Structure 1
Amino acid sequence: MVDAGYREWSRVWIALWIVAALSTTAFSQDYNNRLGQQRGGKVTFEPLGPGVFFDALDPTVKRWYVPQELYHDYRFRTWEYSNYARDRYERYVNTTREGEYFYDTFGNFVNRGWLIYDWRQEALTPLGSSIYQDSRYQGWFNQVLIATDSKGGALYSITTGDQIRTTLTPMTFSKPAFNGIQLDLAADKYAGTLLLSRISSPVRSSVSSADTRTNATNMIGGRALAQVGDFVTVGATWVNAHNTRTTLGSFDSNPTKGTLGDGQARVPINAIALVLSDDSPEDGEGGTALFSHDLVVVREDFQNGIRETLSLADLTNDPTRWPVIEGGFREEGFLAANGIQRIIINYDFNDPAYVGPDPTEIVKVTFDLVLANDYKVEVWSDRQTGQQTPPEAPLTRAILDERNPVLLEIARAPDNTKDGSNRRRLVFDYGLPTATQIYGFTIEAQDVLGFNFYGEYDINQKFRQYPNLALFTDDRSFEDASTRADAWMMNLSFQDYPWFFFGEAFSMDHDYSTSSFLLNQNGDINYDQPSQFFYEFVEDNDDQDRTPDWQRGGQPGPDFAIFPGWDENNDFVSDFNQNDNRTISNRIPDYDEPFLRYEVDRPEFLFGIDLNNNDWIDRFENDDEPDFPYKRDHRGYNAYSGAHVIPGVRVSVGQTREELLSSERENTTTYGLVTVDENWAGLGRLRAFNMLKRAKDTIPDDRRAPQGFLLAGLPAKVADILPAQDTWVNSLFIGFDYTRIPQLNIRNKIKYDLYVQRSDDLRALDRSPLHDRSSFFGLINKVDYTYRFEGLSIQPRFKSQYLKRTPFLRREADIEEWDGFLSMILKFPVLRHSMIEMGTEFRQLRELRADEDALVQESVLGPTGDLNETNLAVQWSTTTDYLGYVLLLQTGFRLSRQSLETIEMLDLEVDKKSTVETGTTTFITIYAGVEQ
C-alpha cells in the first residue's frame, strides 16, 4: 500500500517537474543560432538558413506569427492586448554588443563588429569598382591598418593606408604618400612587395557609403629580391597603371593594357591631325623634313565581321584637297619646318573630299611617314579632350596658338641632325592612352674586394587604343598599340683608405615616363589638366617631406614651401626664415630682419657642388621633374677619384660628360677638388673648399627660385642662361671660427667664384651677350662677446658683410656694397619667472660702385644705395604653468628708423637728400606649449 502510494506521488512529482520544465523553456530566451553550432568540439557560426518550424504546420487560414526577436527578448505577443499598468514597459535596449555580423566568401562567420575597409572589383556589372572606408578608419586607426604574421625566418605584413611611404626603386616607383595596399614578405635571402590601389578617385579619409565607379584606373606593382651568395642581390620590378571598365570581363583581353572608358569609346573620332615641328626651334634651322606621308584605315562590317584595309588613295577622290596640309615650306624633295614653323596635316573624316568609310566603322588608323633632320611629331584628334572644348577641324596655326589644343607626342629625333642623314620611316597606330607600364631588373653588390655596385635597367611602355562605338557596345577589345622607352643606371664605388673612387653611368630616354592618365567617373580624361588627371609613380619631392611638390589627382599637395637642403633642423621651416609659420606669416627672411641677421648669412654665401653649371648648388635645386636619380633625355657618365692626403684634407679629380638625346647639346666638365676640415684644439675650426673646373656646358637646367616664406605660393621659374659654355670656373670658400677665448666668438667667411670665358662673343640661351669675366666675391666677419654677472647678460655684436659681383650678362650692372651691423643685447631676470630683454642695432649700408658726386652732376635722380638704420627693442617675457600647459607671455615695443639717401631736385637744384622713415611695433603675445 505504501509502495503504491509512493509510486502514485512519484508520478505526480514527475509530471509537475515536466510541466515546470516545459514552462521554463517556453518563457526562457531562445538564442537559436546566436551562440553557434557545436561541431566536433568546435563552435562554428556559418549561415544555416531558416529551418522547418513544426509548430507552424497547422492548416489554418488565420495568419500566424512565428515568435522572433520581440517575443524572445521582451515576451511581446503581437496578437495579444498590451497593458503596462502592472508590468512596467521595458524600453528597447541593445542586448548584445554593437556591430554587424560578417561572413567570408566561404560562408564562415568572421566576427560581429564593424566593416572598416572594403575594396571590390567586380566584372560584367556597372559600378563594379567600389571602395568603402568607415569613419572609424580615420577616427580609430588614423587612416592606417596593419596586419602582420611570421613563422621562423619568414615575415609577412599587409599595410592599408592613405599615406604610406613607399619605394620600389628610384626609377620606377617612389611616393611619400601612397594611397592603397602594400603587402610585404621577407625571408633570410628573399623579399617581395606587392602594391595595389585604385588611383582614380581613391577614397581619402572616410565615406558614408561605398564609392562606386564603372570607369576607374587601377595600379598594381611589385618588387622581388633574391640574395645570390653572400654579396650579390638581384631584383625585378613591375609597375602597371591601367584604365578599366567594370562592364567588361576581367580576362576578355590583357587587363594590363587597359581599355577605353565609356566617355572615350562612345563617340567616334571624326578628325585627326599630325603636327610636325622643329625639335630644337632655338637654332632656327634643320627642323622637320617630311618626304612622304600615307594613311591606312581598317574598317569593319559589323554585320558579318569582315574587315577591309584602305590606303590614302582609297580614301579621297582628290589628293590635292584631302588631307589638308598647312604650314611649312617646300624644299627640294621634301616639306620643311624650321624654328617656330609647323606642318599640320589634317585628316577630317567629314570633309567632302573624303570618300572613305564612316567614322563609326573605323577600327584602326595607321600613319606612315618618311622623315629626316630634327623632327618632332605630335598628334591631335577631336577626342583628345581638355579643359576647353576641342576645336573644330581643320586644325590651323592660329588655333594652335590661340586655343592651345591637347597634343600627344609620338616621336622626336634622337639628335639635332641637319643634313638629312637620319632619314627614317615612322609607322604608328593612332589611339587614346589606356595604360602605363614599367618593368625592369636590378643588381646590387656589397663589399666585393672593396667595391660596391648598383645597376638598374627599366623599360617603359605606354599603351593606347582606337575608340569605336560598335566594339564598345559588343564589349569587344579595341585595337591597341604601344611605344617603348628605356632607362638605365650604374654606380660603382671603392674605398680603401686613403684612396677612394666613384663612377656612375646613366641613360634615360626623353619619353621615359612614370605618369599615367586617370579616368573620371564618366570615362573621360582631360589631358591638359595634370592636377586632376595625372598619377605619378615617382613624385617631384625635392625637399623630401611628406607632401609632393606638385598637385596630382587623389593625393595631398601641392607643396609650395619647398626649400631642399635648407631645413637642417627638420622642422619643416626654411632655415633662412626660422621664425616663419603658417599661423602668423613672416615675410622677412632672417638675413634681412633686425637682430636676427647677425647670425644668418645670405644664401649667396653658401658653397657646394654645381656640376650642371647653372650657378646654383645642386643639392639646393628645386625643379619640376620627378625625383629620378638622373634627368630624362640625358645620357652620360661621371667619375672621380682621389685620396685623403692627411686627416681632414681630401683631394679628388674627375670628369662629367653627358649629352641630350634629343639634340646636340652636351656638358663636358673636368674638375679638381680640394677640401679641408680641421679642428684645432684651443684655436678654432678651419673649413676650406676649392673646385677648379673646365666646363663646356650647353644643356639648360632650369630651376625654381627659393621661397622667402611658407605662404609665398608657387615659386618663380629661373631659366639657365648657360654661363659656362666654354669656361674656366673656380669656386673658393674659406671659413674660420675662432673659439680660443671663452665667451668670445669670431667667425669669418670668404667666397669667391670666377668664370673666365674661353671663346669670343659667347651668348646666353636668349642670345644676350655674356661678360668675358664674371665673378662673385663675398667677405663676412662677425665677432660677439657674452658677459654674464648674476643673471645679467650683455652681448655686444658686430658684423661686416662685403659683396662684389660682376654678373654674367653684359646688360646687367655690376654690384659692390658693404653692409655693417653693430648691436647689443641686454638680458636680466625680473621676479621668479620673468625676464626683460633689451636690444639696439645700428646698420650702415654703403653702395661702393657709383660716384654720388657724379650722379649729382649728371642729374641722375633716385636712391644712391646708401642707407642708415637704427632699431631699438624692449621685451618682457613671463613663463608660467597653467592647466597643464606652459604659457609664455611676451609684451614689448620695437622702433625702427631708416634714413635712405636719394638724389632729388631741391629748389631747382639737384642735390642729395636723406629720406627718414620711422616705424613702430607694439605687441602682446601668449604662447601655449607642453614644454619650456
Structure 2
Amino acid sequence: MASALGLWANRNELGGFFLLLSLLLGVGGLEAQDYGSRLGTQRGGEVSFEPRGPGVLFGALDPSVRKWYVPQELYNEYQWRQWEYSNYARQPYQRYVNTALEGNYFYDIYGHYVTRGWLVYDWHQDQPQALGSSIFKDGRFNDWFNNLTVSSDSEGQFSYAITVGNEIRTTLTPMTFSKPRFNGLQMDFAADKYQATIIASRISDPATGVTPQPARVSNSTSLIGGRATVQVGDFITLGGTLVDARNANTGLDVFSGDLIAGSLTAGQSSTPVTAIAMVLSDDSPEDGIGGAALFSHDILITARNFDTELETVFTLQQVVREGLEWPVIFGGFPKEGFTAADGDERIVLNYDFKSPAYVGPDPLSIVKVEFDYVLANDFKVEMWSNKQTGRRSTPAPPITNQIIEESEPALIVLQRAEGNVRDISNLQRVRYEYGLPTANMVGGFTIEGKDVFGFDFNGEWDRNLRFFQYPNPAIFSASGNHEISSLHADAYFFNLSRQQYPWFGFFEGYSIAEDYSTTAAFVVDHSGDILYDSPTTAFYEFVDDNDDQDRLPDWVRRGQSVGDNIVFPGWDENNDFISDFNQNDNATIPNSLPDYEEPFLRFAVDRPEFLFGIDLNNNDWIDRFEDDVLPDYLYKADRRGYNAFVGLDIAPDVRLLLGRVDERMFSQQRANESTYGLFTFDRNWAGFGRVRVFEMLKRVKDTIPDDRRAPTPFLTAPARPLVPDILPAADTWVNSSFIAVDHLAVPGLELTSKLKYDFYHQVLDDPRDLNERPLRDFTSFLGVINKASYTAEWGSFLLRPGLKSEYFRQSEFLQEEEPRQHWAGIAQVLAQTRLTPNTKIETGLELLRFRDLVADEDDMLARGVAVETGDLTSTQVAVQLSVTSGYLGYILTTQVGLRVGRIGTERIREAAPGVFEKGSKGRSETTSFITVFAGVE
C-alpha cells in the first residue's frame, strides 16, 4: 500500500512538472522572439549598435547536462537541434567564409558603432604610456586611396575638409610653412569672411609606407600648426599663423612639461651632462682680422636638493679647486685686455664636471648652467657637450681646435655678432643657458589690403623661438619640469603698390634676421637620440627649398630618400617637367645633348646665354632662373633693406621705370646698393611683325655673395654643381640690352634677328673679386642671331629650307680666364611628303660651319704647335618613315629612320719635319632607330 501511494505521488509530481513546463512553453510561444542586441537597440527614432556587453537570454535558461553546440542567441532558431549529421549527398559542402570578408566592426571613443569595413589610417598618442605614439597605415591606404583620403562637408557658406595624405601640398605662408610633400593631417575650414587651417604630423616617423602593425614609439618629434584669416570690411584681410615642432616622450605626462617647448627624450636625459664646451670663433674668417674678442667669462651653476627642493647657485670661484685651472681654455691670441680669435683660430672653454679641478655640485643635481661672457668684434658662439651626438663618435673632453677639425663634433650655434665689427665698438655682455634643443616655433601675423585708397599692400611679421632644456635624469624620471631657455629671431616685410595710369609704383621693405630659422634641427630616432650634424636624418624643414616649384624639394631632409636633382627654374614654359633646352630628354630614353647642340634641333633652339631678364642680386644670372640652396622665403635670411621703383606707361607697349635697391647683411658689413633704370618696348605691326626692346642700366655697389647652383642640363645628371658668386659688381656700371625683330610680312617666310649686349664697367682702379683675384676693367657679352626659314607646300609635299647665323663673344670677369668668341652658320633643308593618309616620310640635310675666333691659326703655324684650332664642319643627312595607326585602343606611332653625319675637325699638323700646315680630320657618326610610341590621342 505504501509503495502504491509513493508511486502515485511520484506520478503526480512528474505530471505537475510537465504541466508547468507546457505552460511555460505556451507562454513563451505567445511572446516575441528575444534577439538580444543582435539587431541593435532602438532609442527614439534611431537604432544604436554601441557595445553593451554579453547578456543572458531567458529563453535559453535550460538546466540540462548536455553540451551546448551553438551560442545562446541562436537558441530560438535551433533550440535543442544543436548538432546535425553532416551529409552532403544532396547539398554540396560550401567552404568556410571569412567573417571579416566585408571588414571588421569599428566603434568610436563613446562606444558608438561607426561602420563595418577596414581601418586604413590611425594615429594615436597615449600619455603617460610606453610606446604611446603609434601610426598605422593599411595597405589599402596606398592601394585603394593612393595615399590620400579627403573627408569634407558643407552647408550654406560653411565648408570644411579633413585631408590625410603622404604628399599634401601645404602652404600657410612662405615665411612660416610651405612644403610640396607634407606627410600628415590637414583640416581646413572656410566661410565667406573666415578661413582656418590646422596641420599635424609625427615628423620623426610619419609612416611613409605600409605598416602591417602600428609603428609604436616612445620618443617622437611632432608638429602642429595652423593659420586663420578674417576679412575686415571689404578690403582688408588679417591673419595669424603658428607652427611648432617639439620633441616628446610618451612615458611622461603631457601636461608635466611645456606644450610649446616640448620635453626631453629618453636619449637626451637618461644620463647627466658631464662636459660642456663653449667655442668662440671669427664669424668672417676669410678676412683674417677682427674675430671674436673675449674680455671675461663666468659661469652660474644651479643645483637642486631633490629631497627639500632647495636650489643653490654656485659661481665660478666657488666650484674651482684652489691652485688648479677650470675651465680649461685652448686657443686664442692674447691681446691687451682680451683674448682674440681671428681667421681660423678658435677659443675653446672646456667645463669638465668630472675634472679634479672641479669641486662644485654633483652633475646629477645640476638643473641649470648659465654662461656669462663679455664679447666684442665679429664673434660666433657655438656650444658642445657630451650629450650632443653626431655622425662621428663623441670626443672625450677637453676638446681643442685640432679635435674640432679632426673629429668634427656636433656644435650648436648660439649667436653671431651683427656686422663685421673690428674696433670693439660692439662690446657687450651676453648670457647663455646650456640646453639641448627640444622645440622650434614660428608664429606671426599677416595683413593684406586690396584697393585701399588706390593702394594694394601686404605684410607679415613672424617670430622664431628655439627652445632648449637642461637634461637631468632625476627630473626626467620624476616627470618633472626641466629648465627651459630660448632664443628668438624676427622677420618681417611689407609690400605696397599702386597703379594710376599712366603712372605706377612699388615698394618692398624687409628684414629677416640671420638666426631666423624654420628648421627643426632635432628630429629624434626611435631610441630618442639625435644626430645634430646630419641634415638628412635630423632636420625637418617648415619651408622647403623648391625653386622649380614641382612636387619634390630640392634638398634631402628627414623623410626624403632622395632630393631633386632635376632643377631648372624658368626653363620649363610648357610645364612638362623637362627643360625646354633639352625637350627630347625623358626618363625612359635619356638624352644628355642639349637641343642647341643637337643636329636639326639647333636651328630653332638658341643658347641660354641669349636669355634676358632682371638680375637684382648681381651674380650674373637672371633672378627667375636662379636655383639656390636656401629655403624658399620671400626674402633671404640675414638681409634687411628695401626695393622701390616708380614707372610710366608711355604707351600701351612702352614702359619706363626708375628704381633703387638698398640691402644690408646682419652678420657682415656687406651691402647691395643699386640704382637702376628699365625700358621695355613690345609692339606688333600688322604686315610687318613683332619688335621687342629691353634695356636695363644699373649703377651697382654689391658686396653680398649670392651663390647658386647650375641648372640641370639633362634628367640623369648626377648633381647640380655650386656656382659661387665672385662679386663682379662691387662698384660697377652694369648694362643689359636686348633687341629682337620677328618679320612675318611675306607668307611662309620667317625672319628673326636677336641682339643681346651686356657689359660690366668697373669703377674701381684695381677691381678684385671675393677671393682677391684681379678683375677685368671691362667685361662684355655680345650675341647676335639671324635666322631665315621658308615653308613651301605643294599638295602633300612640304619643303622647309633655313639659314642661321650665330655670333657669340664673351669676355670673362677674371683676368686669368680666357675670353670666348665664335661664329656658327647653319644651312638646312627639310622635306616631307605623305605616302598615305597615315604614313609620311621626311628627309633632312644640315650643314654646319663653326669657327673659333679666339685662336690665332697663323700664330699656331708660325710657332709650330700641333693642336686643334677649334674650327669644325658638320654634314648631317637623315631620313625618317613615320606610320600612325590605331591598335587595341591606343594610337601607335612607329618610326623607322637613319641619320648619318660627317664631322671634320680642323687642326694644325706636322706634314714634314719642321713643316706645319692646316688640315682636317674627319669622323663619321650614325644613328639608326626603330621606335614605337603608344599614345592616347
Fold agreement, TM-score > 0.5: yes
1:121 Cα deviation from its structure 2 partner? 0.8
Of residues 444, 448, 451 in structure 1, which corresponds to 2:448? 444
Q: Does 1:591 align with 2:591?
A: no
CA distance in 2, matches of 1:589, 1:75: 84
User: Aligned in 2, Cα 1:466/1:844: closer, same or farther, shift over 3 Å?
Assistant: same
Q: Does 1:252 align with 2:256?
A: yes
User: Aligned in 2, Cα 1:912/1:362: closer, same or farther, shift over 3 Å?
Assistant: farther
Aligned to 1:922: 928
Q: Report if aligned partners of 2:734, 2:760 keep a CA contact under 8 Å in 1.
A: yes
Q: Does 1:425 align with 2:429?
A: yes
Aligned to 2:45: 41
User: Aligned in 2, Cα 1:80/1:382: closer, same or farther, shift over 3 Å?
Assistant: same
Q: Secondary structure at 1:463's aligned position in 2? A: strand
Of residues 297, 306, 329 in structure 2, which corresponds to 1:325? 329
Q: Report if aligned partners of 1:261, 1:523 keep a CA contact under 8 Å in 2.
A: yes
CA distance in 1, matches of 2:185, 2:650: 51
User: Aligned in 2, Cα 1:24/1:81: closer, same or farther, shift over 3 Å?
Assistant: farther
Aligned to 1:868: 873
Q: Secondary structure at 2:268's aligned position in 1? A: helix
CA distance in 2, matches of 1:514, 1:390: 27
User: Aligned in 2, Cα 1:40/1:719: closer, same or farther, shift over 3 Å?
Assistant: same
CA distance in 1, matches of 2:802, 2:628: 38
1:207 Cα deviation from its structure 2 partner? 2.0
Q: Secondary structure at 2:823's aligned position in 1? A: strand
CA distance in 1, matches of 2:92, 2:519: 69
User: Aligned in 2, Cα 1:148/1:86: closer, same or farther, shift over 3 Å?
Assistant: closer
Aligned to 2:477: 473
Of residues 217, 220, 232 in structure 2, which corresponds to 1:213? 217
The range that moved more, 89-98 or 340-349, is 89-98
1:403 Cα deviation from its structure 2 partner? 2.1
User: Aligned in 2, Cα 1:79/1:341: closer, same or farther, shift over 3 Å?
Assistant: same
Describe how 1:1-400 pairs up with structure 2 within 5 A.
Answer: 32-54=36-58, 67=71, 89-93=93-97, 98-318=102-322, 321-400=325-404
Q: Deviations over 1:124-179 (max 9, x none)?
A: 10111111122222222222222222232222222222111211111111111211
Q: Report if aligned partners of 1:743, 1:785 keep a CA contact under 8 Å in 2.
A: yes
CA distance in 2, matches of 1:415, 1:38: 75
User: Which amino acid in structure 2 is aligned with residue 924 of structure 1?
Assistant: I
Q: Secondary structure at 1:599's aligned position in 2? A: coil
Aligned to 2:570: 565
Q: Report if aligned partners of 2:272, 2:472 keep a CA contact under 8 Å in 1.
A: yes
Aligned to 1:686: 691
User: Which amino acid in structure 2 is aligned with residue 231 of structure 1?
Assistant: F
CA distance in 1, matches of 2:208, 2:513: 34
Question: How many residue pairs end up in the alignment?
Answer: 915
Q: Secondary structure at 2:690's aligned position in 1? A: strand
Aligned to 2:700: 695
CA distance in 2, matches of 1:453, 1:228: 14
1:63 Cα deviation from its structure 2 partner? 6.2
User: Aligned in 2, Cα 1:736/1:351: closer, same or farther, shift over 3 Å?
Assistant: same
1:704 Cα deviation from its structure 2 partner? 0.1
1:352 Cα deviation from its structure 2 partner? 2.5
1:680 Cα deviation from its structure 2 partner? 0.7
Aligned to 2:853: 848
Aligned to 2:547: 542
Aligned to 1:7: none
The range that moved more, 783-792 or 76-85, is 76-85
Q: Secondary structure at 2:423's aligned position in 1? A: coil
Aligned to 2:587: 582
User: Which amino acid in structure 1 is aligned with residue 167 of structure 2?
Assistant: Q
Q: Report if aligned partners of 1:56, 1:66 keep a CA contact under 8 Å in 2.
A: no
Q: Secondary structure at 2:260's aligned position in 1? A: helix
User: Aligned in 2, Cα 1:168/1:73: closer, same or farther, shift over 3 Å?
Assistant: farther
Q: Deviations over 1:348-376 (max 9, x none)?
A: 22223222233333221111110001111
User: Aligned in 2, Cα 1:819/1:89: closer, same or farther, shift over 3 Å?
Assistant: closer
Q: Report if aligned partners of 2:36, 2:73 keep a CA contact under 8 Å in 1.
A: no
Aligned to 1:6: none
Q: Deviations over 1:311-339 (max 9, x none)?
A: 22222215763222111101000000111
CA distance in 1, matches of 2:118, 2:54: 25
1:40 Cα deviation from its structure 2 partner? 2.5
Q: Report if aligned partners of 1:578, 1:590 keep a CA contact under 8 Å in 2.
A: yes
User: Which amino acid in structure 2 is aligned with residue 237 of structure 1?
Assistant: T
1:299 Cα deviation from its structure 2 partner? 2.1
Q: Deviations over 1:405-451 (max 9, x none)?
A: 21110111111111111000110101111000011111111001221
User: Aligned in 2, Cα 1:24/1:55: closer, same or farther, shift over 3 Å?
Assistant: closer
Q: Secondary structure at 2:380's aligned position in 1? A: strand
CA distance in 1, matches of 2:290, 2:785: 51
User: Aligned in 2, Cα 1:107/1:704: closer, same or farther, shift over 3 Å?
Assistant: same
CA distance in 2, matches of 1:663, 1:200: 35
The range that moved more, 259-268 or 653-662, is 259-268
Q: Report if aligned partners of 2:60, 2:75 keep a CA contact under 8 Å in 1.
A: no
Which blocks of at least 5 consecutive residues in structure 2 are unaligned? 1-20
Aligned to 1:435: 439
1:98 Cα deviation from its structure 2 partner? 0.8
CA distance in 1, matches of 2:716, 2:35: 62
User: Which amino acid in structure 2 is aligned with residue 284 of structure 1?
Assistant: G
User: Which amino acid in structure 2 is aligned with residue 340 of structure 1?
Assistant: D
Of residues 619, 623, 629 in structure 2, which corresponds to 1:614? 619
Aligned to 2:886: 881
Q: Does 1:604 align with 2:597?
A: no
Aligned to 2:908: 903
Aligned to 2:5: none
Report percent identity of matched pairs.
Answer: 53
1:56 Cα deviation from its structure 2 partner? 6.6
CA distance in 2, matches of 1:166, 1:672: 38
Describe how 1:671-682 pairs up with structure 2 within 5 A.
Answer: 671-682=676-687
Aligned to 1:5: none
User: Which amino acid in structure 2 is aligned with residue 394 of structure 1?
Assistant: P
Q: Report if aligned partners of 1:548, 1:557 keep a CA contact under 8 Å in 2.
A: no
The range that moved more, 738-747 or 131-140, is 131-140
1:659 Cα deviation from its structure 2 partner? 0.3
Q: Deviations over 1:168-215 (max 9, x none)?
A: 111111111211111112222221111111111112243222111111
The range that moved more, 316-325 or 645-654, is 316-325
Aligned to 1:403: 407
Aligned to 1:4: none
CA distance in 2, matches of 1:713, 1:175: 24
User: Aligned in 2, Cα 1:153/1:79: closer, same or farther, shift over 3 Å?
Assistant: closer
Q: Report if aligned partners of 1:219, 1:242 keep a CA contact under 8 Å in 2.
A: yes
Q: Report if aligned partners of 1:549, 1:557 keep a CA contact under 8 Å in 2.
A: no
Aligned to 1:10: none
The range that moved more, 17-26 or 561-570, is 17-26
CA distance in 1, matches of 2:597, 2:157: 58
Aligned to 1:828: 833
User: Aligned in 2, Cα 1:75/1:607: closer, same or farther, shift over 3 Å?
Assistant: farther
Aligned to 2:18: none
**What RMSD over aligned residues (CA atoms) do the two structures have, in Å?**
2.4
User: Which amino acid in structure 2 is aligned with residue 914 of structure 1?
Assistant: S
User: Which amino acid in structure 2 is aligned with residue 450 of structure 1?
Assistant: G
User: Aligned in 2, Cα 1:594/1:319: closer, same or farther, shift over 3 Å?
Assistant: farther
Which blocks of at least 5 consecutive residues in structure 1 are unaligned? 1-14
User: Which amino acid in structure 2 is aligned with residue 759 of structure 1?
Assistant: L
1:86 Cα deviation from its structure 2 partner? 7.4
Q: Deviations over 1:530-571 (max 9, x none)?
A: 112211111100001111111121247511100101100000
Of residues 447, 452, 458 in structure 2, which corresponds to 1:454? 458
User: Which amino acid in structure 1 is aligned with residue 566 of structure 2?
Assistant: A
The range that moved more, 389-398 or 735-744, is 389-398
Moved over 6 A (4+): 15-26, 58-63, 69-81
Of residues 709, 712, 715 in structure 2, which corresponds to 1:707? 712
